[in-house]
């Protein structure tokens, strides 16, 4: 009687080990999603965009918390995040002499590759992205604004809601993100034209920069008067924006030349 019992116990042990062991392996390397045997952080830091997109699409929305952690990190915080992830490549790059450059690169990858690839599938991240946008931190807020601009209409709507934020740096980040990632040219131009009248010089400058080259019939007429702005940096920004229209802004050429040769403005060009 003992022999069948022992055989049954052995069978249970074998079956249990075949089920449990893969789970143990997964938990050891399972601090983040894996694709084709490599952790997500390896794809983000060390692979070309086309392969990153393939990995991001395959991994799907389960990686959104990691993307949010990266976007919400300061340089020191990103090093702590990298230490928790499985990518040796990311940790090594954050330790080298160019860590500040890599910090920006990895954030741009998350925005331009991860969130843009997920698009509307990343809508669950919108509330947290809005919180990050409102942090008023140059290491965080601009990237959150850009992410909102690429996660579909709901993200873009949340971004435009921030146009009324009390903090001018938030409005400036919105202007830059809309200018860089906005999909509807007419809508983008309309928003930027409104921001050209903002009380903050920094917001106005960012709006003018973002308007550069967009919709000449709309952009040129509103940028031309800014060549007479009392702020010399604003005049320079308007001149630079108008130059992006090429010959379409030929009426501004003489004024821009005059500003360039003017002793007060010359140093700004």
- If you search the block for the tokens 């389960």, which residue do you land on? 62
Contact at 8 Å (CB) between 187 and 218?
no
pLDDT tens figures, 198-235? 999 999 999 998 888 777 888 888 888 888 888 888 88
The reply to whether the predicted model has a pTM over 0.75 is yes
Residues comprising the chain, all counted? 269
Looking at per-residue confidence, does 175 or 98 come out higher? 175
Question: Residue ranges per domain, the chain?
Answer: 40-183, 188-269
Q: Which of 218, 214, 242 is nearest to 229 (CA)?
A: 242
Looking at per-residue confidence, does 23 or 202 come out higher? 202
Q: Which of 144, 133, 145, 222 is nearest to 177 (CA)?
A: 145
Looking at the chain, the number of H-run helices and the number of E-run strands are 18, 2
Determine the CATH number of domain 188-269.
Answer: 1.25.10.10
Query: How far apart are the C-alpha atoms of 109 and 46, rounded to whole Å?
Result: 11
pLDDT tens figures, 87-138? 887 877 776 655 677 888 899 999 999 999 999 999 999 999 999 999 989 9
Query: How far apart are the C-alpha atoms of 177 and 208, rounded to whole Å?
Result: 13
Contact at 8 Å (CB) between 175 and 210?
yes
Mean per-residue pLDDT of the chain: 82
């Amino acid at each position: 009687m003992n022999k069948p019992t022992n055989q049954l116990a052995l069978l249970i042990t074998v079956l249990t080990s075949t089920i449990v062991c893969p789970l143990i392996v997964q938990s050891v390397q399972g601090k983040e999603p894996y694709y084709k045997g490599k952790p997500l952080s390896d794809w983000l830091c060390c692979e070309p965009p086309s392969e990153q997109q393939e990995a991001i699409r395959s991994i799907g929305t389960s990686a959104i918390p990691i993307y949010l952690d990266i976007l919400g990190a300061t340089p020191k915080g990103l090093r702590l995040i990298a230490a928790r992830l499985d990518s040796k490549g990311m940790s090594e790059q954050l330790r080298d002499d160019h860590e500040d450059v890599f910090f920006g690169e990895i954030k741009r990858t998350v925005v331009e590759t991860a969130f843009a690839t997920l698009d509307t599938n990343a809508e669950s991240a919108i509330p947290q992205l809005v919180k990050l946008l409102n942090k008023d931190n140059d290491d965080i807020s601009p990237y959150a604004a850009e992410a909102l601009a690429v996660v579909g209409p709901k993200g873009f709507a949340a971004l435009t809601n921030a146009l009324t934020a009390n903090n001018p740096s938030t409005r400036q980040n919105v202007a830059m993100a809309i200018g860089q990632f906005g999909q509807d040219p007419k809508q983008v131009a309309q928003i930027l034209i409104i921001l050209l009248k903002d009380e903050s010089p920094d917001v106005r400058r960012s709006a003018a920069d973002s308007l550069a080259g967009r919709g000449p019939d709309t952009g040129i007429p509103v940028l031309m008067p800014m060549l007479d702005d009392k702020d010399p940096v604003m005049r320079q920004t308007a001149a630079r924006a108008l130059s992006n229209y090429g010959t379409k802004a030929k009426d501004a050429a003489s004024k821009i030349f005059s500003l360039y040769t003017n002793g007060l403005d010359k140093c700004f060009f």
